[in-house]
Amino acid sequence: MKILLSNDDGWDAPGIKLLESELAEIAEVWTVAPATPQSGISHQMTFERPMKLTQYADRRYHLDGTPADCARVGLTQLGEDFDWVFSGVNNGGNLGVDFFISGTVAAAREATFFGKKAVAISQHRLNYPAEFDWEAVRPLLRRVIDDVLSRTGLAGGDLVNFNLPDCTERDIHSVQIVECDLDRSPLPFDYGHGVGGALEPRRAEVEQTLVYKGRYNDRQRDPGRDVDVCLSGNVSAVVIRPT
């Protein structure tokens, strides 16, 4: 079995290293990940400039492009036929409407356009950006990998978006993997305001600085959907199929 791996946090992020090491126990893993962090970039592609693909280890590359670029380059330029494409583990959740914003999900979604089975995995963080014990996640991550690889109902073009709960204060062995629907409720947020320039005498315009501040843990939780499942302490698994 051959697996292509990517993410949006960058090739040297702890989440992708963890996922890479777990997948390498069961498959031949090739990695094409962004050279720099690309969080929240969604499905942006690079068309107007050359991209540099750099090999840093055996079957390991980083690309100065987006996560979707990485998946496309990996699937078309390495000369390999991959059975699966995995993306993650993202440093932070990609729940609900984040599905449409996430670079992590975009790498997996790009793979589905090529008819591949794809998986996006994200780790919800209660106290981001505090230190996080990635090694403690390993047993649960392995369960998620085993779960998705054993799903006989998945076909080429299907995507499973997993979100792992923050189990800092919970027995990880009690966590369940729950297949559920995407919660499309908007993410609550605030904008910090600051005047960035003085009012000119003959103009009625003021330049302002807006600073986005998402309130991730305050988001609406429709019962039984992915936000509610993950924030309640279980793994949410949303299956997206071609329409």
The residues of the chain that CATH labels 3.40.1210.10 are 2-181+221-240
pTM over 0.95: no
pLDDT the model gives residue 173: 85
Instruction: Work out the pLDDT band at 236, boundaries 50, 70, 90.
Output: very high
pLDDT the model gives residue 130: 87
DSSP 24-70: TTTSEEEEEEESS--TT-TT----SS---EEEEETTEEEESS-HHHH
Residues in Cβ contact with 123 at an 8 Å cutoff, skipping those fewer than 6 apart: 15, 88, 89, 90, 91, 92, 93, 132, 137, 163, 164, 166
pLDDT the model gives residue 211: 87
In the predicted model, what is the mean pLDDT of residues 34-61?
97
What span, in angstroms and rounded, lies between the C-alpha atoms of 109 and 193? 35
What span, in angstroms and rounded, lies between the C-alpha atoms of 5 and 86? 5
- CATH class label, 2-181+221-240: alpha beta
What span, in angstroms and rounded, lies between the C-alpha atoms of 169 and 172? 9
Pairing assessment for the beta strands 28-34 and 2-6 based on DSSP bridges = parallel
| Mean pLDDT across the chain | 93
In the predicted model, what is the mean pLDDT of residues 112-141?
94
The more confidently predicted of residues 162 and 210 is 162
**pLDDT tens for each residue of 142-180:** 999 999 999 999 999 999 999 999 987 778 889 999 999
Instruction: Work out the pLDDT band at 207, boundaries 50, 70, 90.
Output: confident
pLDDT the model gives residue 210: 87
Q: Check pLDDT > 50 for residue 197.
A: no
Rounded to 5 degrees, what angle do the CA atoms 82, 240, 126 make?
A: 95
The more confidently predicted of residues 127 and 80 is 80
What span, in angstroms and rounded, lies between the C-alpha atoms of 103 and 44? 8
